[in-house]
Chain A
Amino acid sequence: MKAAGRALVVLAALNALVTAASCPPPVKPGDPLRGLTAEELDRFHRGQEVFERVFTPETGLGPLFNADACGECHETPVVGGVGDEIELHATAFHDGFCDPLADSGGPVFQQKVTPALQAALGIDQEPVPVGAHRANRSTPAVFGFGLLDAVPDHDILLRADPDDKNHDGISGRPNRNFDGRLGRFGRKALVPTLREFNTGAFTIEIGITSPALPTEETIGGRPVPPSADPAPDPEITEEDVNLADDFVRFLAPPLPLPLDLEGERGKIIFGTIGCVACHAPSLATGDNKVRALRYKQVYAYTDLLLHDMGPERADMCLGLAEPAEFRTEPLMGLRLREKFLHDGAAATIEEAIELHAGEAAGATSRFRKLSARERAAVLKFLGSL
């Protein structure tokens, strides 16, 4: 009997060992999605090389740029994460029309120039037209963006309530790209697809032309002086753009940290005070050619819609987005950030909550009325994401 008991204990221990050995290690920031094929995994790794490639003027950098590599800004705590750079964007209203200042080089105004452009034009950054509404933009982490890309449009539109018909004070509304498609990427949700977000970033951030965008951005609306752009266009191949796109697409969302009782309580309070009206806990992806992106839940804490954040945060319009409207920021990976809000204005999560106004005023007010312990619980929950 004693021997049988001992055998059972040994069997149980063996079983536990086998189970532990067969469990994959938890996903770390910067890891690829689980369930990628060998070919997709290979493209992820090769794409990371493109993402980290440092460009020079000879290989196409600039002549206007914000960074010399994708990985220069998306770097903390690992490649694909956040950066400490703050970009300058600007647009203007002209008779009720939101002008992205495309004929003046907008809406992204690069803050660095190559030595050749400096020599040709004597400028240190792209000039912003007088009277434009300027906006600071922090670098987002791009973890889990492939899953956000895979959420069907109609699931986003289902959550929209532009006229606040349910009278909850929250009126999420969709932005549209210039061609009318639903937007979801970018702080104003202008960009419909991850592919376009990534392709456009090569041009506006690094000054790298691609087959989809074979010409450089203008410099304040003027063409680039030939002497300032020695590399032939396009400066990156379609395949390299595809690889970089696959790297971003296949980046897994950071796994939230395990919650203790206080964190679990904070998660509940986060819901009851109304934060989830915009920071929707999860979205579902639809059919997708990539199995790892197909029919998945993504715990992104966003509805990908525009919400009024109040006049204090208002900066610029973009597409249908008014100056005070911003897309609900995804909260996945929140613990990995060093600055908060679209403009990096908040140094802590608590400060970011305090800076929510407009449609979020009710939730912010309820947060303020919580006891110190309850507030700490909410912050513990958010700090686990």
Chain B
Amino acid sequence: MSIHRGILIHALATAVACALTSTAANAQPPGSAGGQRETITGTISRIDSHSGTFDLLTAVGHSVRVRRVRYPAGLKVMAQRAEAGMSALVPGAVCRVECEVATSGATATGVEVLYAAPARTR
């Protein structure tokens, strides 16, 4: 009888633990509804303030690809651990971009400038 009671308690505890885990897994941070999170690190090649997008260059070897990313107004842009603003996003800047990716494309949720655009005279 005590063995049966032990099994029953164990089963109940397992069910409660499963339910709690499932609830935690389904909980999403604010703003992430519907999209997958992705971090893209690349070099900015173009900024279009009219469409609110920028292009990021990424590469595997010499195969270079362009990722277009939408950015919302007020996007947080960090550089050297300080807020830098959108003016830091210029062609040539190497950035780590946190995105939400949906079928309609990627939207930036935060940007960190890793290397400023090189000063060139051309």
Contact = CB atoms under 8 A, between A and B. Distances in A.
Interface in A215-254: 217
Interface stretch (B2-10, B62-70, B79-87): B62-70
B118 A103 contact: no
Given A179-B94, A186-B62, A191-B62, A320 B57 contact: no
A198 B61 CA distance: 7
Interface size class of B (residues with CB under 8 A): 20 to 34
A196 B64 CA distance: 11
Given A99-B45, A102-B57, A178 B122 contact: no
A179 B62 contact: no
Contacts of B117: 96-97
Given A96-B120, A96-B122, A320-B118, A178 B61 contact: no
B20 interface: no
A178 B60 contact: no
Given A94-B91, A97-B92, A199 B45 contact: no
Interface string A86-110: 0001000111111110110011100
Interface string A189-202: 01100001111110
A96 B45 CA distance: 11
B58 A178 contact: yes
A97 B59 contact: no
Contacts of A100: 57, 59, 64
B50 to A, nearest CB: 18
A252 B63 CA distance: 26
Nearest to A212: B60
A113 interface: no
A200 B121 CA distance: 31
A103 B66 contact: yes
A114 interface: no
A178 B63 contact: no
Contacts of A197: 61-62
B41 interface: yes
Contact of B60 (A99, A108, A213): A213
Contacts of B92: 96-98
Contact of A196 (B41, B55, B60): B60
Contacts of A179: 41-43, 58-59, 94
B88 interface: no
Interface size class of A (residues with CB under 8 A): 35 or more
Interface in A49-108: 89, 93-100, 102-103, 106-108
B41 A190 contact: no
A178 B66 contact: no
Contacts of B43: 178-179
A180 B119 CA distance: 16
Interface string B91-122: 11010000000000000000000110111111
Contacts of B62: 89, 107-108, 186, 190-191, 197, 200-201, 204
Contact of A199 (B55, B60, B94): B60
A197 B63 CA distance: 9
Contacts of A180: 41, 94, 114-115
Contacts of A198: 61
A102 B118 contact: no
A327 interface: no
Given A96-B121, A178-B43, A178-B94, A203 B60 contact: yes
10 contacts: A89-B62, A96-B119, A97-B91, A102-B66, A176-B115, A178-B42, A179-B41, A180-B94, A196-B61, A200-B62
Closest 5 CB pairs of A and B: A200-B61, A97-B91, A179-B41, A102-B64, A96-B120
